Structure 1
């Protein structure tokens, strides 16, 4: 028990570099130290791997540039000094073991010259809270470790001398990071990350340390301290005081919902794992044992491309047969648990066949079959509480990903990667702590809300552009209408018709767009048209014309200048207008004296259609052909409705972002907010009727699946 060891592990020697050799320590203490050092090194690596993302998000959300620069500088400083902080932390850790019992490990946390400073007070308060949380969760294991260290060293060991105490670990970290040139806010962020990625693993190295020392004969009679399962060691600190996984079926409403479905599920009994369920004399296994078997299978769920080859029934049946052989007693699943397995299986069967979801998403969700089954076995409130974290997480993922486009965006965009990460985290870490779903839900909501804000900004830009274009089109139609009223069916000088259609129409457009149809500018522009046409119509009294011409010429010059007609064209038009006025006064079809080239007249027989600079790329606009039901469906579409277009090789998913009533246009954009399709009501109704477009059901996934399963069971 008291053998001394002088053998130092090679990895530890490399980590310590060229420091002075350590005094001899008992072999078991070396083992405890090196096991803990490995865990601490991994925790520090996870901390620094995630620090960049955390600081970048804080910089992104900062209100002013100085705060942004603060976080960006902190990111740079951390990258440069990461290795030195890791080495410094481990150096202090090894040194604490070398001088175990001789050194006050809490001294680095106390700086007498600064204790009254606000920054020091906030830091001390943060450390105190972190230590208190570790002690509340692992106090018994730490106390047993202290007793074993005292017995091994054969002398008293106070908490401040224990190199694995949470306060000591915080001291190593603060001391190693003293050369970081960051402010208090960043230091507090790093402390929170230290708690999340290092201190939350304390139960692991406390448990392993106690186990090693007990196996070496150091107080083996001490009862084993309660320890969390390795898969559940990442606890969500925001969850309620009670662990939902510790109370099976605590929600009475959920129990009632499940009980009402068991009668409907009865015909399916015996079909799941039939080789073990068919043996009536077999002993049922407990729900807790079933959960352990499912946790084992959970780690063997294949990747997305192989998930169809993984069937839960045969896998669980094989495990039960192994358990039966090992125990010598035939085992089967409890009736209630079998009903739950069948119910969750039906839910996932619906999800896998629900073509409202992108195919890539259905494959990812299929991998969550076992975690959701375990949640249902642990907490039947899953079926009665709309705000259950597992239920909400499934719904939020489906809602955020409804617009995925594998053809254009690929399967590796940021949203797909985030969902993959959520799925893999649940498969790796979820055992019986439903709080993990709440933690992942909060993280996913923060991510999806940021994405949604960016997409909504692009959608608003698309909407504004389309509304502006619709207003321009409406103005163009109104200008066409007033010009056709005045010109169609008349014989008029060609030069005047060309000027009105090509140039003065722009004056009318600007007046309508800027000031509206009821404005004085619009009325003045129309009056100028009427006055011009009247002034060139023979016969005309010279005196009356002389009274009209000055005001007319002034209005024409101002209007032509507002649309930037070049001076040469303006001068040429006014010269020709002068000849037309002379001809009107003479009352003939030709200008008097035959001066200048003859001014030809044209018969305006067809409607005037103004040229459009940019025609939209839109779907065919033919009529709906009497499809009244489809037309009513189009009229009921709300902004935000998703549709799938099937008229191409790869289906296109897009969302209704604008309904332009004035021009009868419905504008659709993809998930990023970029316009991809446009229809009028009639053409969209026809596309719906022919099956070229279908409206997607974007309702809550879990609710739709549960409703469909219940309706199917009642048939």
Structure 2
């Protein structure tokens, strides 16, 4: 394969900015190693894009589609070198930003976070959904290795990072790709093809990318106690080229069959809490280990007695097992104890659920439902130790899907009639009724539940897009309204005019100008005519009758009055509501007003429609809560509660410039909240606003529990 003219040398891909000098040497090594792999992936992508587009052109059903793909092939050939250069520059910039005090003004991919732009089309939504699916596949497939890399980067830089800050995280890699492709003049079908190729030739090797980065960091002593994530496919890119796709799931377990190596590492940590699951008998009773198969039978028995979600008593897994073991021990006359490995699994599941059931991101109404999954997931983990190490395990994915779907749910009195609640309750009940030992049911339920949530997500996205479009229209209207107010003030500033005329211009004629601005623009004939009519009105009431112009005023009045009435009609003003003004205007033209009561001097700017007050003006620029507001990203979920009002969970869907208003929608895509930056900062200060962690629930629980166990072991 000839790469002449295609390869961008790593040392020339970007002019290294000064922040890199402050980065640890190992991070520069991680960057350069990753850059080499990513560059190779991009080359593979472009080398295969030609063939892919040619096949699409060959399959085109009509003469309209046929040239689209050929034009795309030509565009890719011409812009390939620039595409690769921009991608690498984005990568190097992201690493440079890691060395700065803050995270910079990085913004996630707008289409991934569904950031609104004026005139967003269905193409944008289609691209957004494709990207979300891509990111989900990478996180489910390589979430463990990515999480370890995030943890190591956080420890190395002494600041918390997640995969949205990680230059090698899938979200930022997609952002680099989309930014690099902005110069491509291709239509949506070609863009979607390019995204699929990016997933196939770049993101599919993310396990190798994260594995090598983790190895470099471990070699320099960064969190070596984290056990290496199992590689999905030995051989990376070459394996993809020579291995059939349907064999990939089996290859996932080649390195650590059944997850025994990863579980052994967990057992070292769990030794500190071992001995907490045992029957309550006298010490003289002879201990007899209970076989794993018998333990599963006991758990299946206990599974039938899991309390309903509305039960008052909490379900304590270990306590329930102790009582069951005690009954079995009394019956046999021996102290029936579980084996160490099984007890470790029991303790780990109990600790994981303890974290999850105290997690703010899980709504209270759903915690009782999730708690009922403890025994089914315990049985899965007893049967398959890879449950703890394999992010793509169907049982883990099902739990994560349930938690993520529930996160945006706001409390309501009739929650038991809610479609999402009912669907999750149905999933839980099926597991309790049907799951014995065959884990296939988790895959089946995952497929069904994912289809349900995808349908809900599609509907909510359509509504959310409508919300953003409406809000963008509102912003345009407010901007035009402010321009009209400025025009009025410039025309009237310092003038002494009849009060009735000033009120008419502010309340009625401003609407005529606003409509002309929005409908025709401020370079239009209609806009200029509106200004001219306003100037003539101001001129007419300022004339003295004993002047030459004043004596000829009556000749010009019919044209002025006609222009005023036509303008008001175009703005749909009721003629009866303006009749009083025309009567006053006639009187003013006959006899100019005298006295301070009838005349006013315009000294202050007009405010046609005051917006949200922004308390940010009273806060210093470095206020920590204001900084928290600035760090909110599109797509962030928050929980908002004012005083005694019900809690509202909502997602940030847009930040509307220039006033910087934050627009939030509920899980159905409907607008529920609009706040200024200052109002949100004050809500943070009062404790009325909390950002919800939208990371995968099981992965967060696993990281928290292992961290807690590690501290416990250090303290001994």
When the two structures are superposed, what TM-score results if normalisation uses the length of structure 2? 0.57
- Whether 2:625 is the aligned partner of 1:625: answer no
- Whether 2:704 is the aligned partner of 1:699: answer no
- Whether 2:696 is the aligned partner of 1:688: answer no
- The equivalent of 1:641 in structure 2 is 636
- The equivalent of 1:29 in structure 2 is none
Q: Which has the larger radius of gyration?
A: 1
- Within a 5 Å distance, the mapping from 1:213-228 to structure 2 comes to none
**1:302 Cα shift?**
1.4
CA distance in 2, matches of 1:494, 1:321: 91
CA distance in 2, matches of 1:250, 1:277: 45
- The equivalent of 1:27 in structure 2 is none
**1:266 Cα shift?**
1.0
- The equivalent of 1:33 in structure 2 is none
Secondary structure at the aligned position of 1:657 is classed as strand
- The equivalent of 1:420 in structure 2 is 425
CA distance in 1, matches of 2:256, 2:529: 75
Q: Is the contact between residue 528 and residue 556 of structure 1 (CA under 8 Å) also seen in structure 2?
A: yes
- Whether 2:485 is the aligned partner of 1:480: answer yes
- The equivalent of 1:561 in structure 2 is 569
Label 1:676 to 1:568 Cα distance change in 2 as closer, same or farther (>3 A): closer
Cα deviations by residue, 1:9-51 (Å, 9 ceiling, x for unpaired): xxxxxxxxxxxxxxxxxxxxxxxxxxxxxxxxxxxxxxxxxxx
**1:412 Cα shift?**
2.7
CA distance in 2, matches of 1:561, 1:689: 50
Label 1:409 to 1:631 Cα distance change in 2 as closer, same or farther (>3 A): farther
Q: Is the contact between residue 285 and residue 334 of structure 1 (CA under 8 Å) also seen in structure 2?
A: yes
CA distance in 2, matches of 1:654, 1:558: 45
CA distance in 2, matches of 1:451, 1:550: 60
Candidates 259, 262, 266, aligned match of 2:264: 259
- Within a 5 Å distance, the mapping from 1:26-425 to structure 2 comes to 252=257, 254-273=259-278, 275=280, 282-306=287-311, 308-324=313-329, 330-425=335-430
Label 1:572 to 1:359 Cα distance change in 2 as closer, same or farther (>3 A): closer
CA distance in 1, matches of 2:632, 2:593: 61
Cα deviations by residue, 1:154-185 (Å, 9 ceiling, x for unpaired): xxxxxxxxxxxxxxxxxxxxxxxxxxxxxxxx
Q: Is the contact between residue 270 and residue 277 of structure 1 (CA under 8 Å) also seen in structure 2?
A: no
Secondary structure at the aligned position of 2:416 is classed as coil
CA distance in 2, matches of 1:473, 1:680: 15
Secondary structure at the aligned position of 1:411 is classed as helix
Secondary structure at the aligned position of 2:649 is classed as strand
Q: Is the contact between residue 533 and residue 560 of structure 2 (CA under 8 Å) also seen in structure 1?
A: yes
**1:653 Cα shift?**
1.9
- Whether 2:607 is the aligned partner of 1:602: answer no
CA distance in 1, matches of 2:282, 2:704: 27
**1:367 Cα shift?**
1.0
Label 1:493 to 1:311 Cα distance change in 2 as closer, same or farther (>3 A): closer
CA distance in 2, matches of 1:571, 1:314: 82
Secondary structure at the aligned position of 2:664 is classed as strand
Q: Is the contact between residue 631 and residue 685 of structure 1 (CA under 8 Å) also seen in structure 2?
A: yes
Candidates 414, 435, 440, aligned match of 2:440: 435
CA distance in 1, matches of 2:596, 2:631: 60
**1:276 Cα shift?**
7.6
Label 1:662 to 1:253 Cα distance change in 2 as closer, same or farther (>3 A): farther
Q: Is the contact between residue 380 and residue 387 of structure 2 (CA under 8 Å) also seen in structure 1?
A: yes
Secondary structure at the aligned position of 2:357 is classed as helix
CA distance in 2, matches of 1:619, 1:378: 59
CA distance in 1, matches of 2:322, 2:576: 92
CA distance in 2, matches of 1:567, 1:303: 66
CA distance in 1, matches of 2:285, 2:255: 30
- Within a 5 Å distance, the mapping from 1:489-638 to structure 2 comes to 489-538=494-543, 541-542=548-549, 555-565=563-573, 600-610=598-608, 621=615, 623=617, 625-626=619-620, 628-638=623-633
- The equivalent of 1:673 in structure 2 is 669
Cα deviations by residue, 1:196-222 (Å, 9 ceiling, x for unpaired): xxxxxxxxxxxxxxxxxxxxxxxxxxx
Label 1:426 to 1:571 Cα distance change in 2 as closer, same or farther (>3 A): closer
Q: Is the contact between residue 533 and residue 563 of structure 2 (CA under 8 Å) also seen in structure 1?
A: yes
Label 1:380 to 1:526 Cα distance change in 2 as closer, same or farther (>3 A): farther
**1:437 Cα shift?**
0.5
**1:498 Cα shift?**
3.1
- The gaps in structure 1 that reach 5 residues or longer are 1-239, 584-588, 592-596
Label 1:316 to 1:555 Cα distance change in 2 as closer, same or farther (>3 A): same
- Cα RMSD (Å) of the superposition? 3.8
Label 1:297 to 1:599 Cα distance change in 2 as closer, same or farther (>3 A): closer
CA distance in 1, matches of 2:334, 2:593: 119
CA distance in 2, matches of 1:560, 1:321: 87
Q: Is the contact between residue 286 and residue 334 of structure 2 (CA under 8 Å) also seen in structure 1?
A: no
**1:572 Cα shift?**
7.3
Q: Is the contact between residue 254 and residue 382 of structure 1 (CA under 8 Å) also seen in structure 2?
A: yes
Q: Is the contact between residue 664 and residue 674 of structure 2 (CA under 8 Å) also seen in structure 1?
A: yes
CA distance in 1, matches of 2:662, 2:599: 43
Q: Is the contact between residue 614 and residue 677 of structure 2 (CA under 8 Å) also seen in structure 1?
A: no
**1:265 Cα shift?**
1.0
When the two structures are superposed, what TM-score results if normalisation uses the length of structure 1? 0.57
Cα deviations by residue, 1:94-142 (Å, 9 ceiling, x for unpaired): xxxxxxxxxxxxxxxxxxxxxxxxxxxxxxxxxxxxxxxxxxxxxxxxx
**1:696 Cα shift?**
1.1
Label 1:276 to 1:430 Cα distance change in 2 as closer, same or farther (>3 A): farther
**1:392 Cα shift?**
0.9
**1:348 Cα shift?**
0.6
Cα deviations by residue, 1:397-453 (Å, 9 ceiling, x for unpaired): 111111333335433311111111111111111111110001111111122222223
Q: Which has the higher contact order (CA 8 A, sep 6+)?
A: 2
- The gaps in structure 2 that reach 5 residues or longer are 1-245, 712-716
Q: Is the contact between residue 317 and residue 350 of structure 2 (CA under 8 Å) also seen in structure 1?
A: no
Q: Is the contact between residue 411 and residue 648 of structure 2 (CA under 8 Å) also seen in structure 1?
A: no
CA distance in 1, matches of 2:613, 2:539: 44
Q: Is the contact between residue 644 and residue 651 of structure 1 (CA under 8 Å) also seen in structure 2?
A: yes
CA distance in 1, matches of 2:297, 2:383: 12
